[in-house]
Structure 1
Amino acid sequence: MNTAGTGDTGPQSVRLDVWLWSARLMPTRSAATAACRGGHVRRNGDPVKAAQKIVVGDELRVRSPGRERIVVVTRILTKRVGAPVARECYEDHTPEPAPQLAAAPPRRERGTGRPTKRERRQFDRLRGRDAGGAAAPWEDPRD
């Protein structure tokens, strides 16, 4: 209840899945619930359930494909708001992605067919999947 003169500006806590959806960190509430169920969301370092309440000051770590976002809740939301307003409801402490991950993987020209064995080895070295040690006896050391 919000009574006049108490200085209460809104709810003090809200369900985690509702807040993730409202702050536009997840596209749908069911996606937020599924992320919590899958262990992709942590509050203050601990795995959480979707129905747990969050308050201002909680640190949330939200893992999505290829990235982990670290946000600190600064305002409680109960309804989905526009992107500029949603951005003001959390502080983003996510580190910058590594430059090699931000760059697009090398592409081959269309119509050139499958890569040769030499090109595959070069791609593997570039991606860090190189076997490491010395070349196998049947491999050409000039590659």
Structure 2
Amino acid sequence: MDEKVRIDKWLWAVRIFKTRSLASEACKKGKVSINGVSVKPSREVRLNEIIDLRIPPITRSYKVKAISGKRMGAKLVVDFMEDVTAQDQLDLLNSTKQFGFEQRERGSGRPTKHDRRLIDKLKQ
């Protein structure tokens, strides 16, 4: 394990961001903060820090359990970070899912013409 790792590299390694450049961009835009202070992509991560990540409409919080600069499999992520997002933030996320968007069963594909007509009928 590495002792010193940049925050953009750590966010990428624990699979919060798909690419390191996206993690770096989020830091530059002020969406990543530690102890309430926005951080630059070059800021080094320390053990047991709480990293706050603003992803509208909520703020997610992660606790650093271990440090690594190498991208890992999804099963290993739980050894390196812990999701400590407040319950009220998760409730806010669930409420926006219920009221803001239409939902379809996973794997059902795009609606057919018949499905679309039924959806339009229900909306009216």
> Where in structure 2 are the equivalents of 1:1-143 lying within 5 Å?
10-95=1-86, 96-98=90-92, 99-105=94-100, 109-110=119-120
**Equivalenced residues, count:** 105
Shift of 1:36: 0.3
Shift of 1:65: 3.3
5+ residue gaps, structure 2, are 103-117
Higher relative contact order (CA 8 A, sep 6+): 2
TM-score w.r.t. the length of structure 1 is 0.65
RMSD across aligned positions (CA): 2.2
- 70-79 or 88-97, larger mean C-alpha shift: 88-97
Letter of the 1:18 partner, please give it. K
Q: Matched residues in 2 for 1:100 and 1:54: separation? A: 33
Shift of 1:23: 0.4
More helix as a share of residues: 2
Q: Whose radius of gyration is greater, 1 or 2?
A: 1
Letter of the 2:85 partner, please give it. T
TM-score w.r.t. the length of structure 2 is 0.74
Letter of the 1:97 partner, please give it. D
Shift of 1:39: 0.2
Instruction: Mark the CA change 1:29 to 1:106 in structure 2 (over 3 Å): closer, same or farther.
Output: closer
The residue aligned with 1:120 is none
State the identity as a percent. 30
